[in-house]
Structure 1
Amino acid sequence: MAHNRAGKIAQPEDLINVDAVTSAYYDITPDADNPDQQVSFGTSGHRGASLDGAFNEPHILATTQAIVEYRAAQGITGPLLIGRDPHALSLPAWQSALEVLVANDVTVLVDAQDGFTPTPAVSHAILRLNGPEGRNGRGEADGIVVTPSHNPPRDGGFKYNPPHGGPADSTATGVIQDRANELLRSGLAGVRRTTGEKARAACQAYDFTSRYVDDLADVLDLNAIKSAGIRIGADPLGGASVDYWGAIGERHGLDLTVVNPDVDPRWAFMTLDTDGKIRMDCSSPNAMATLIAARDRFDISTGNDADADRHGIVTPDVGLMNPNHFLSVAIGYLFAHRADWSPDAAIGKTLVSSSMIDRVAAELGRTLLEVPVGFKWFVPGLLDGSVGFGGEESAGASFLRMGGTTWTTDKDG
């Protein structure tokens, strides 16, 4: 049963105390023998709440050290790109990670504007740096994104993307998770760390925004969108895409309005999700209620989760579309209009996605690649071009550039 205030603007009693959440990050020491307080990588990194002893500074120090050791064992010697979203715990976790990375002599690239960085922008940057024009004799790059995605404001998240740019596979996350928990049990013995001031001074700037926005014309027919005069409303839902949408509209001359440019770690402007919690779930009609109410202002509207790896689409006639519906339409359009994609390029979907996609694939005469839940399963195919489109039931997807080469290997909302 839905909460009686689902779809309504959050009230003061629904909001987190940011000071309490961030203080708990530093003050609470997790119990390394309690499974609920150990590092645990799910389908998209380690997530938890500082107030529960599940996302605290020891977790991040240990996990970052484990990542440093993992990348060294894999021979990864290039720079590490690190981004973060607006969750209250993302900034302190980002700072903790920098202190460990720099102490271990890792070259760290951070956003040039000291802003928020969506997951797809980090994936795009990793692939760009690892491409023929980006290497310049350096070792391969990898990355970290500090985000719990659409989770409530009290939560934090931390995920690792290896040089292929996508989510780390189970083998990698298993090694990192186990080593992090070993470090937790040892009282962080073996964790190298420098001061915050020295760490920040050692970081190098990387312009995530411009490089992503400039390259966007390689994957989307932006001239067609512009010439059609489509009025677009983009709601970042207070997430990391907040500066990207305005830059996209300006750079490519689109009729695009950023519906809500506000950023607030409490997400006080959000409507409550179905269970009465604040959650930036762009596939939920209750979380998207504000954008749905404004649907007549635009020809099409879109909303993102906090790290912009998922999206929801709102139209004047339907309201919030079913993700499986618009993914099916996108697949049909792309495979009919991308002449330079391999004729053998497959359509990727997760097991729980709609069989509607199966029928679209059959009509197109394309191979259907059905995988377990988790975008990591699409990474190899998106890298070598054997998968043209990979999408999940939660409206997270990526597809190839117009020329049939890789765009991102993580979801791009």
Structure 2
Amino acid sequence: MGAITFGTDGWRTTLEEFTTPRVRMVGQAVATYLADEGLEGPVVVGYDARESSRGFAEELARVLCTNGFDVLLPQRDRPTPLVAHAIVERDLAGGLAVTASHNPPEYNGVKFIPDDGAPALPEVTDAIADRLADPDPLPENEHGTVREVDLVTPHADAAVELVESITGDVDLSGLTVAYDAMHGSGRGTTDALLSSAGASLEGLRCERDPTFGGGAPEPSPENLTELVGVVTDDGGPELGIANDGDADRIALVTPERGFLDENFFFAALYDYLLEDDSGPAVRSVSTTFLIDRVAAAHGESVREVPVGFKWVAEAMADGDALVGGEESGGFTVRGHVREKDGVLIALLAAAMHAEEPIDDRVDRLLAEHGTVVQDKTSVACPDHEKARVIGALEERIPDAVAGTAVEDVNTADGFKLQLADGSWLLVRPSGTEPVLRVYAEATDGDRVDELLGAGEELLEALV
């Protein structure tokens, strides 16, 4: 049981640790938790495109079924946000998604999604962890059923309805989009949604490959060079869209900028939504202050939360936020399930772009609010050492970083040092990998590199 720990977004580890007996223990823990909470409805179990994911999903379904729950499975691997949507749309007791998201193929994972469709908060995952045990089946006459269902159509209908409520009729005819599925579960889902709205699609890596081409399905600049080349080529598609392995995150590529910084897209999305609506934004502590400037220009506010979409989702509910997001490319909007959704946001981004090129909106925002540059790096650190290092860092917070005084220290998630020149440096433990993350934001790239170097030096003395 000690090998099963729930981090930022569920339990995720290498296949050496992610074994069938342990997965079955998680299934039993979820079944016990749901029974203890008096939740008796069906449970949906989704899964991503990894070689082992369907088999693990069937193991979870079997354990839930023998505990008396009816179980719904998709016909094939599908995006995690479709699982979250199905929970709310079908009024289910909850759901599980077998996925390691953007991690390499030697990883897998499982996350529990409660009956509100939002990511599980620690009190829920702690309660599940407390119930880890070998399967304890009921008598056969009390078993539930397992059946396959369509998760795509209801989610697509809801996405179109929501985007139409924001933009008017969704008509992408005349828009050419290059879509990179990165061999993940967005293939046949995100591209199909865009095509159904009228867009002309050019597909990249839209075939299932459980090895993801030998890399990680992480939609980062270095992994999207082909998509960038296609979109920035003269006469190429007008917009590039990529999803990570389970399509809950999105990356955009534009003709002018190539890979579009997720912070810039977040600011552009919020600004676009505020043209005809109102409401605060929720952003993680690692996300740009440009969101705050856009909010202030519209008389709105911003709520800053720790990294992890569960905190974004919780704050969105508390404050009726218009949009919530993270610099890693996870977003959702008011009126949708409170879980990041790279499929819905792909349709919304394309509709935005069809009205006005996203580059033009970003140019306007930067001209009004000032240039920002953000980047991040990682310092290797075993999981069992993270708490010690962060604790030691508390005693070594400097008075200045890279020659600039520290004006404030935010401890919502690790340590965010806000500097006198408006730049900042954040150090926090990763919840999904054995590393410490270092983030920095400033007005130019050289300054960001300087801050990241200072952060690495600070950590390397402690690790």
Match of 1:261 in 2: 206
Question: Per-residue CA shift, 1:366-385, capped at 9, x if unaligned?
Answer: 12111111111233454577
Match of 1:24 in 2: none
* Structure 1 position 346, deviation (Å): 1.8
Q: How does 1:222-301 map to 2 (within 5 A)?
A: 226=171, 229-268=174-213, 278-282=215-219, 284-295=220-231, 296=233, 297-301=236-240
Match of 1:275 in 2: none
Give the number of equivalent residue pairs: 336
Q: How does 1:399-410 map to 2 (within 5 A)?
A: 399-400=333-334, 406-410=335-339
Tell me, in whole angstroms, the C-alpha distance in 2 between the residues paired with 1:374 and 1:357.
18
The match for 1:208 among 120, 133, 151 is: 151
Match of 1:98 in 2: 61
| 80 and 318 in structure 1: CA distance in 2 versus 1, 3 angstrom threshold | same
In the alignment, residue 389 of structure 1 is paired with which amino acid? V
Q: Which has the larger radius of gyration?
A: 2
In the alignment, residue 47 of structure 1 is paired with which amino acid? R
Question: Is the partner of 2:117 in helix, strand or coil?
Answer: coil
* Structure 1 position 149, deviation (Å): 0.4
Q: How does 1:2-401 map to 2 (within 5 A)?
A: 32=1, 35=2, 38-51=3-16, 54-111=17-74, 114-130=75-91, 140-180=92-132, 183=133, 188=134, 190-192=135-137, 202-221=145-164, 226=171, 229-268=174-213, 278-282=215-219, 284-295=220-231, 296=233, 297-338=236-277, 343=278, 345-383=279-317, 386-400=320-334
Tell me, in whole angstroms, the C-alpha distance in 2 between the residues paired with 1:193 and 1:294.
55
In the alignment, residue 89 of structure 2 is paired with which amino acid? R
Q: Contact (CA 8 Å) 1:389, 1:399: kept in 2 or not?
A: yes
Question: Is the partner of 2:212 in helix, strand or coil?
Answer: coil
Question: Per-residue CA shift, 1:160-216, capped at 9, x if unaligned?
Answer: 000110111000101112322xx2xxxx3x533999xxx9x9312321111111222
Q: Contact (CA 8 Å) 1:88, 1:154: kept in 2 or not?
A: no
Question: Is the partner of 2:78 in helix, strand or coil?
Answer: coil
Q: Contact (CA 8 Å) 1:225, 1:254: kept in 2 or not?
A: no
Tell me, in whole angstroms, the C-alpha distance in 1 between the residues paired with 2:11 and 2:90.
26
Tell me, in whole angstroms, the C-alpha distance in 2 between the residues paired with 1:243 and 1:226.
19
Q: Contact (CA 8 Å) 2:179, 2:241: kept in 1 or not?
A: yes
In the alignment, residue 332 of structure 2 is paired with which amino acid? S
Give the structure, 1 or 2, with the largest relative contact order (CA under 8 Å, sep 6 or more). Answer: 1
Q: Contact (CA 8 Å) 1:353, 1:393: kept in 2 or not?
A: yes
Tell me, in whole angstroms, the C-alpha distance in 1 between the residues paired with 2:190 and 2:305.
31
In the alignment, residue 336 of structure 2 is paired with which amino acid? W
Question: Is the partner of 2:221 in helix, strand or coil?
Answer: coil
Question: Is the partner of 2:109 in helix, strand or coil?
Answer: strand
**Alignment gaps of 5+ in structure 1:** 1-31, 131-139, 271-277, 401-405
In the alignment, residue 407 of structure 1 is paired with which amino acid? H
Relative to the length of structure 1, the TM-score reads 0.76
Q: Contact (CA 8 Å) 2:281, 2:323: kept in 1 or not?
A: yes
Question: Per-residue CA shift, 1:318-367, capped at 9, x if unaligned?
Answer: 111111011100010012133xxxx4x32100011011111111111112
Question: Is the partner of 2:337 in helix, strand or coil?
Answer: coil
TM-align CA RMSD: 2.3
In the alignment, residue 282 of structure 2 is paired with which amino acid? G
| 303 and 289 in structure 1: CA distance in 2 versus 1, 3 angstrom threshold | same
Q: Contact (CA 8 Å) 1:47, 1:148: kept in 2 or not?
A: yes
Q: Contact (CA 8 Å) 2:325, 2:331: kept in 1 or not?
A: yes
| 316 and 193 in structure 1: CA distance in 2 versus 1, 3 angstrom threshold | farther
* Structure 1 position 91, deviation (Å): 1.7
Question: Is the partner of 1:407 in helix, strand or coil?
Answer: coil
Question: Is the partner of 1:336 in helix, strand or coil?
Answer: coil
Higher strand share: 2
Percent identical pairs in the alignment equals: 30
Question: Is the partner of 1:125 in helix, strand or coil?
Answer: helix
| 210 and 386 in structure 1: CA distance in 2 versus 1, 3 angstrom threshold | same
Question: Per-residue CA shift, 1:68-116, capped at 9, x if unaligned?
Answer: 11111112111111110001221221121111011111011111xx111
Tell me, in whole angstroms, the C-alpha distance in 1 between the residues paired with 2:294 and 2:253.
22
Question: Is the partner of 1:234 in helix, strand or coil?
Answer: strand
Question: Per-residue CA shift, 1:217-276, capped at 9, x if unaligned?
Answer: 2222476662572211111111111111342134322223333321111122x6xxxxxx
